[in-house]
Amino acid sequence: MQQVQKYYPVQGTNKFGTTSYPLVKTFRLDESAHTQDKTSTTHTFKKGSIILGFVAKVTTAVVGASGTLQLGFTSTAMLSAATAVTDLATAGAIVGPASATGTGNVYVLTADDTFDSINATTAFTAGALDVHVLYVPPPDGVAPSTFKGYTIT
């Protein structure tokens, strides 16, 4: 029988025992060679991960004649709005999931999925973004008997 590793996010107490706690996966996207009309995949998140959200911060201005950049998980519909390259031309600009249409909700991945960068209409010649994905990884086994048990009738 496989045991789940217990974590205690509040150090010094087991009052808040859990099997998984939120993590932030950070990576850099180099957009300098992103060709037009292309979806590029990056880090893979495991099936069962709960994606709480993401944010991308422009660290080097994105340069291209025109076009848009969209970030997120294409198979779960957690995507940013298609952001014009002119809005990404300043370091410090922020991109996150579009929530006005309801696509910024929390998602549980039903299969392994990658974080994608989608370029439309033009190639980029420069640009970098730091992406931070907030997620809860899937539990790695069965809950031990030290967790509360409930009988459903």
pLDDT tens by residue, 29-60: 998 877 777 888 889 999 989 888 899 999 99
Q: For the chain, how many residues are written?
A: 153
Q: Show the tokens assigned to 19.
A: 């099997």
Backbone angles phi, psi at 40, to 5 degrees: -110, 135
pTM for the predicted model, two decimal places:
0.78
What is the tens place of the pLDDT at every residue in 122-153?
788 888 999 999 998 887 766 666 666 777 87
Torsion, Cα 99 100 101 107, to 10 degrees, reads 10
Average pLDDT over residues 62-75: 84
Residue-wise burial string across 123-139, b where 16 or more C-beta atoms lie within 10 A, e elsewhere = bbeebbbebebebbbee
pLDDT digits (tens, 9 = 90+) for 80-130: 888 888 888 888 888 888 764 444 577 888 899 999 988 887 788 888 999
* Amino acid 1: pLDDT: 43
> What kind and span of H or E run contains 121?
none
Paired tokens of 40: 């590029």
